[in-house]
Structure 1
Amino acid sequence: MDLNEGSALGVFRCKLCELSSPYTFYGQKPPNTRAIVLLEECYGMKDPFSPDREKFLVLGSKCSLCSKTVCVGADCSLFYTKRFCLPCVRDHIHQFPEQIQAELAKKKNTQKTSSS
Structure 2
Amino acid sequence: MASHCRQLFICQLCGLNSPYTYYGQKPPNTRAIVLLEECFVTKDPFSPDKERFLVLGSLCSLCSTRVCAGSDCSLFYTKRFCLQCVNKHFDQFPHQIQTELAKKKQSSKAAVS
Matched, 1:31 2:28: yes
CA distance in 2, matches of 1:51, 1:28: 22
Q: TM-score, normalised by structure 2?
A: 0.95
CA distance in 2, matches of 1:88, 1:15: 13
SS at match of 1:59: strand
Partner of 1:52: 49
Matched, 1:92 2:83: no
Deviations 1:43-78 (A, max 9, x none): 000000000110000000000000000000000000
Partner of 1:62: 59
Number of positions where the alignment pairs a residue of Structure 1 with one of Structure 2:
110
CA distance in 2, matches of 1:51, 1:22: 18
Matched, 1:42 2:28: no
CA RMSD of aligned residues (A): 0.8
CA distance in 2, matches of 1:60, 1:98: 25
Tell me the percent identity: 70
CA distance in 1, matches of 2:30, 2:111: 41
CA distance in 2, matches of 1:52, 1:98: 40
Runs of 4+ in 1 over 3 A off after TM superposition: none
Q: TM-score, normalised by structure 1?
A: 0.92
Unmatched 5+ residue regions in structure 2?
Answer: none
CA distance in 1, matches of 2:51, 2:71: 25
| AA at the equivalent of 2:30 | T
